[in-house]
Amino acid sequence: MNNKFKIGMILVLLLATLAMQNTATAQLKAETAEQKSKRMEWWTDARFGMFIHWGLYALPARHEWVKNAERMTNEQYQKYFEEFNPDLYNPKEWARMAKEAGMKYVVLTAKHHEGFCQFDSKFTDYKSTNTPFGRDVIKEYVEALRAEGLKVGFYYSLIDWHHPDYTIDDNHPQRQVSDSAYTRLNKNRDMSKYREYLKNQVRELLTNYGEISVIWFDFSFPGKHGKDHKDWGSEDLLKMVRTLQPGIIIDDRLDLKDQDGGWDFESPEQYKVEKWPTRNGKKIAWETCQTFSGSWGYYRDENTWKSTPQLLELLIESVSKGGNLLLNVGPTARGVFDFRAQDRLRSMGEWMKYNNRSIYNCTEAPAEFVAPANTLLTYNPKTKRLYIHLLSYPMGNLVLKNMGDKVKYIQFLHDASEIKFSKGDGQNNLNLELPVQKPPVEIAVLEVILK
Ligand code: GLC
């Protein structure tokens, strides 16, 4: 190679890199609201996804924060790494169960706060391939999901309680009380090295496994002994993410809430929103993540499990306020879903099989429709159908206020059987004749075909 050619090549590479960075910046800032909702359309249509928290914490089986709660050192936690051997791991089963429950996408912890990696990263030895199990969990998971037509998501913990350069903070198992103790412990830790590590790993995840539809970063906690976007290099990280996977959907925990394009959806955790969340007066995309019981990781002795009707109500209510539900499973250290989770998923799937038309592609109903007592409304803007979910089944009749001139036909959704109605009292109300007996579905849904 002559020198001129070499210089030419270097220039071309440099320009290409610059161009890539520019596109990334553009993607962070200059997407229109229409472009954004187009990019997120499959996700808002899907409404229902599965979260999976699975790591070494499945072995102690007492919360994914166990290392923190019991203030364990890396040495004390090491036994779980040495025993990690989930012989029944079969992500095809996981994918099948998610699909049968009616879920359209899945988000699995590639790394949780404990720092253990479920993928064959070049940048650490602390990974599944180095345990007795020896397999790349993520790789098999991705393949299984794709085979079922489910969208693939990764959760990646910004927090890392194992990495030697990750500085001790308020949320760390070795947290301290005095400033001087923090200074002493962090003397030889270098966050810039950790930042590089985190970026390298995210690059691996978004390069080695094909198209990734969702990435879930978790989480920032600004403050004196906390961590914020500067610690993670959030902006830089996000630009890389958008460059590697232009279509990807990103949560809001990178501490870039004030940045245009710094996040795609709000992620209320374990609580029901009062109404459709807004920012600067505009309704925003949101997804609530929820557990079946209190913990995200497998917790053998935790007994506060939600019932199927409660879970269905959570799903319906989220859609009725324009949001998604990401429902979490914590597989055991054998690699299977907790039997209680399997049971709930099965019954939710049973309901979804006959009623998913009131969930997929649906959203909050227009304000002109008033929900009767003990009901939740959803609405499909394309088919212009309104769905009335009867949370507590009424006795014999139901009145729809102010809808006398709007309705063409009404049926039960699960069996498409006609519901007769009449204009009752001279006002613009409709009186619906319902069978006295509740139909054999957990929550009965009326499908209202509008004029
Ligand atoms: C919290 C917890 C974490 C869990 C996450 C899910 O931030 O730290 O354990 O993964 O919520 O949203």
In a domain, 21, yes or no: no
* 98 shares its domain with 166: yes
* 263 shares its domain with 412: no
Q: What mean pLDDT is predicted for residues 319-337?
A: 98
Dump pLDDT digits (tens) for 173-223.
999 999 999 999 999 999 999 999 999 999 999 999 999 999 999 999 999
Q: CATH code at 325? A: 3.20.20.80
Nearest alpha-carbon partner for 334 in 150, 133, 184: 133
Where is pLDDT greater, at 311 or 294?
311
Taking residue 286's Cβ as centre, other Cβ atoms within 10 Å add up to 20
Ligand 1 center–CA 293 separation, angstroms: 13
In a domain, 141, yes or no: yes
DSSP structure string for 358-420: GTTT-BPPPTTSPPPTTEEEEEETTTTEEEEEESS--SSEEEETT-TTTEEEEEETTT--B-E
**Atom nearest to 297 CA in ligand 1:** 9
Report the domain count for the chain: 2
pLDDT of residue 6: 65
* 193 shares its domain with 225: yes
Dump pLDDT digits (tens) for 259-307.
989 999 999 999 889 999 999 999 999 999 999 999 999 999 999 999 9
pLDDT of residue 5: 59
> Which residue puts its alpha carbon closest to atom 11 of ligand 1?
269
Query: Rg for the chain (alpha carbons), in Å?
Result: 25
* 61 shares its domain with 188: yes
* 416 shares its domain with 307: no
Q: Is 104 helix (H, G, I), strand (E, B) or coil?
A: coil
Domain final residue pick, 323, 358, 393: 358
In angstroms, rounded to a whole number, what is the distance separating the alpha carbons of residues 333 and 51?
Answer: 17
Ligand 1 center–CA 189 separation, angstroms: 25
**Atom nearest to 155 CA in ligand 1:** 10
| Residue 296 Cβ < 6 Å to ligand 1 | yes
How, if at all, do strands 444-450 and 407-412 pair? antiparallel
Q: Are 334 and 290 in contact (CB under 8 A)?
A: no
* 233 shares its domain with 307: yes
| Domain region containing 398 | 375-450
Which of 67, 159, 218, 295 is the pocket-test mutation for ligand 1 (most atoms within 8 Å of CB)? 218
pLDDT of residue 24: 44
| Residue 390 Cβ < 6 Å to ligand 1 | no
* 101 shares its domain with 73: yes
pLDDT of residue 14: 59
Q: CATH code at 393? A: 2.60.40.1180
In a domain, 27, yes or no: no
Q: What mean pLDDT is predicted for residues 391-397?
A: 93
| Residue 287 Cβ < 6 Å to ligand 1 | no
> Which residue puts its alpha carbon closest to atom 5 of ligand 1?
218
Dump pLDDT digits (tens) for 55-103.
999 999 999 999 999 999 999 999 999 999 999 999 999 999 999 999 9
| Residue 269 Cβ < 6 Å to ligand 1 | yes
Going by pLDDT thresholds of 50, 70 and 90, the confidence category of residue 129 is: very high
In a domain, 24, yes or no: no
Q: Is the model's pLDDT at 16 over the cut of 60?
A: no
